[in-house]
């Protein structure tokens, strides 16, 4: 077995702390990765605090993993020692259902294997995530990180990046399309940069003017503050696509009204409470309300290559492993511009 050092949650209430555990020795198709950086995603916090159901402690969170190949199993063909690689939210899937066959492992009909707080498909061990110094993953779920992307900034692309890239692609953001991004946080700021690079006309919808300069600097063409409600009249019927990255409870009816005929509002953030929505504004203009969950492996690779080609990277703040608990407190207060990344090389 391979000795691993990590940062784990031991219960819903305690702070995270150091944890020693083991990773499997590489099988034929496994890649052993020295983790250099891991992003902090809000999902990590929801999971370790059992807000999405009781977690299986101890949990080593982290699914925005960037590192360097340490070793490969004898039958690995795609990766070699020293290569820059990443791992996102999935480490396995059934590989044979109708969705996996279409490269949509994220919608595997038997459920994909999460990078942490899940069980390996053979039941041998719980999966443990990227707040650690090493991980072993089958090669089909390893991504190549192009040399043009620095490893620290590449990390958040593995969840935040693909979470926005996939719906922008699916709903065809591009020239001639008006796209609005709700919320300028870890997810939203990636949406702005990617939608802009795809050629869409990009608007940020935000509850205050606080992030206006940042939004425009990141590539948004327009910034609309929704705080006094007048924007909902002024911009009614303007957008082809709105992506909601905000987890707060909002009156979605107001936002449906901003869509054109046949426009879609896509949710990628998960509010804690169910939404109550009126179908009237949907019915009136044949609008759609939809959801989207990360992306498949092939599309995730496409996103990494796209970001490298267009020089797109998240804006990050690097923290040492000893400051994960403080970082969590700040994520909850939205006090981060725009994503925390843990420097895993500093793990004690």
Binding site for Zn ion (CB under 5 A): 41, 43, 93-94, 97, 100, 108, 159
Our CB check for Zn ion shows the closer of 100 and 198 to be 100
Q: How far is the CB of 336 from Zn ion (least distance, A)?
A: 14
The values of phi and psi at residue 29, to 5°, are -105, 20
Rg (CA), the chain: 20
Q: How far is the CB of 239 from Zn ion (least distance, A)?
A: 25
Taking the C-alpha atoms of residue 348 and residue 5, their distance in angstroms, rounded to an integer, is: 8
Closest CA to 290 of 168, 196, 156, 191: 168
Beta strands in the chain (DSSP E): 2-8, 17-23, 30-39, 65-72, 84-87, 90-92, 113-114, 134-138, 143-144, 178-182, 201-206, 222-225, 239-244, 259-267, 288-291, 316-319, 339-343
Q: How far is the CB of 19 from Zn ion (least distance, A)?
A: 20
Q: How far is the CB of 306 from Zn ion (least distance, A)?
A: 19
Our CB check for Zn ion shows the closer of 143 and 258 to be 143
Nearest 5°: CA angle at 163, between 80 and 334?
A: 110
Our CB check for Zn ion shows the closer of 142 and 200 to be 142
Our CB check for Zn ion shows the closer of 53 and 82 to be 53
End-to-end CA distance of the chain: 20
Q: How far is the CB of 303 from Zn ion (least distance, A)?
A: 14
Taking the C-alpha atoms of residue 87 and residue 116, their distance in angstroms, rounded to an integer, is: 11
Could you tell me which residues are beta bridge partners of residue 59?
9
Our CB check for Zn ion shows the closer of 109 and 148 to be 109
Cβ atoms of residues 264 and 242 within 8 Å? yes
Q: Which two structure tokens, joined as six digits, stand for 331?
A: 């994520």
β-pairing verdict for 65-72 and 143-144: unpaired
Closest CA to 60 of 30, 31, 25, 35: 35
Q: How far is the CB of 110 from Zn ion (least distance, A)?
A: 5
Our CB check for Zn ion shows the closer of 131 and 256 to be 131
Q: How far is the CB of 53 from Zn ion (least distance, A)?
A: 16
Our CB check for Zn ion shows the closer of 191 and 281 to be 191
Our CB check for Zn ion shows the closer of 14 and 101 to be 101
Question: Which phi-psi region, left, alpha or beta, contains residue 311 (left: φ > 0; alpha: ψ -120 to 50)?
Answer: left
Q: How far is the CB of 108 from Zn ion (least distance, A)?
A: 3
């Amino acid at each position: 077995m391979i000795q691993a050092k990590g940062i784990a949650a031991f219960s819903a209430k305690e702070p995270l702390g150091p944890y020693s555990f083991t990773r499997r020795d590489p099988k034929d198709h496994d890649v052993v990765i020295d983790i250099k950086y891991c992003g902090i995603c809000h999902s990590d916090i929801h999971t370790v605090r059992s807000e999405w159901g009781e977690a299986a402690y101890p949990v080593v969170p982290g699914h925005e993993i960037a590192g360097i190949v340490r070793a490969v199993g004898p039958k690995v063909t795609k990766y070699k020692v020293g290569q820059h690689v990443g791992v996102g939210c999935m480490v396995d899937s059934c590989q044979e259902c109708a969705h996996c066959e279409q490269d949509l492992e994220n919608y595997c009909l038997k459920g994909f294997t999460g990078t942490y707080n899940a069980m390996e498909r053979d039941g041998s061990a719980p999966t443990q995530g990227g707040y650690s110094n090493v991980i072993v993953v089958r090669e089909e779920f390893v991504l190549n990180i192009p040399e043009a992307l620095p490893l620290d900034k590449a990390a958040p692309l593995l969840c935040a990046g693909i979470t926005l890239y996939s719906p922008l692609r699916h709903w065809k953001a591009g020239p001639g399309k008006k796209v609005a991004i709700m919320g300028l946080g870890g997810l939203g700021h990636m949406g702005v940069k990617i939608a802009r690079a795809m050629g869409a006309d990009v608007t940020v919808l935000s509850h205050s003017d606080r992030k206006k300069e940042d939004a425009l600097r990141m590539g948004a063409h327009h910034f609309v503050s929704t705080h006094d409600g007048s924007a909902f009249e002024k911009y009614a019927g303007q957008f082809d696509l709105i992506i909601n990255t905000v987890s707060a409870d909002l009156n979605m009816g107001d936002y449906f009204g901003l869509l054109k005929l046949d426009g879609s509002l896509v949710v990628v953030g998960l509010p804690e409470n169910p939404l109550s929505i009126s179908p009237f504004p949907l019915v009136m203009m044949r609008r759609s309300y939809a959801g989207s969950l990360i992306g498949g492996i092939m599309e995730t690779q496409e996103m990494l290559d796209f970001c490298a080609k267009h020089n797109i990277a998240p804006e990050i703040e690097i923290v040492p492993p000893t400051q994960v608990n403080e970082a969590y407190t700040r994520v909850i207060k939205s006090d981060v511009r725009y994503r925390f990344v843990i420097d895993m090389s500093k793990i004690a």
